[in-house]
Amino acid sequence: MTLYIYGAGGHGKVVFHTFISMGKTITAFLDDKSTHEQRYGLPILTPADIQSSAPYTIHFAIGNNRIRHALQTAWQQRGISAATAIHPRATCYPSTTIGTGSLLTAGSITGPDAVIGAGCILNHNSVVEHDSVIGDFCHIAQCAVISGGVRLGTQCFVGAGAVILPYLTIGNHVTIAAGATVTHDLPDNSTFPLPM
């Protein structure tokens, strides 16, 4: 089936190389502000350019959780499925569950019985340990570690190198700064640590 990558920025480049490593063929990039240029020899189209070309799938290569959620949901409501991208050098235990439209990059690790929601990003060398549940449309940045048994709500951002200690519960729409170590539960809509 025809495959598009929605987002022609830096994150889109990572998604492109992930799909190529999977042996997939990408038809084009999509971008709302397309000037009809090219990236990696592929055209950059606007969403309007493909409206009549169904069936196809799209991977939403947008780093912002809220925007990625809105786009993936809107297109799915039109009957367009979200493509999941899992790099061959990602480590996924057989009992891992991965939601539709998620991205697992090279070096990422998901432990036994981990659950990854829809539209999530597990960036390079991130770790989601055994029995953790990652809510829909979360972004786990490079080298972040989600320890065993953690519950992470929807649309959370875990910064590069951050660590969440085992069996903690993190609410929805939580932002955890790069390098932070989370030692206690965090409520919805919070930032950790608090800005100075």
CATH at 33: 3.40.50.20
Per-residue model confidence as pLDDT tens digits over 108-145: 999 999 999 999 999 999 999 999 999 999 999 999 99
Residues 62 and 140 in one domain: no
How many CB atoms sit inside 10 A of residue 128's CB? Answer: 31
Residues 71 and 91 in one domain: no
Mean pLDDT of 48-64: 89
Indicate the annotated binding residues for substrate. Answer: 63
Q: Residue 48 contacts by C-beta under 8 Å, 6 or more apart in sequence?
A: none
Cα angle for residues 15, 177, 170 (degrees, 5° grid) = 90
Mean pLDDT of 77-103: 96
pTM summary value: 0.95
The pLDDT score that the predictor gives to residue 55 is 86
Q: Which of 87, 124, 130, 173 is catalytic?
A: 130
The pLDDT score that the predictor gives to residue 196 is 65
Residue 187 has pLDDT above 70, yes or no: yes
Residues 89 and 46 in one domain: no
Report if residue 193 sits inside a domain. Answer: no
What domain count does the chain have?
2
Containing structural domain, residue 172: 84-188
Q: Residue 59 contacts by C-beta under 8 Å, 6 or more apart in sequence?
A: 3, 4, 5, 6, 15, 19, 82, 83, 84, 85, 101, 103
Which of 55, 83, 111 is the last residue in one of the domains?
A: 83
Indicate the annotated binding residues. Answer: 63, 139
**CATH number, position 157:** 2.160.10.10
130 is known as an active-site residue: yes
| Helix or strand run (H / E) with residue 18 | helix 10-21
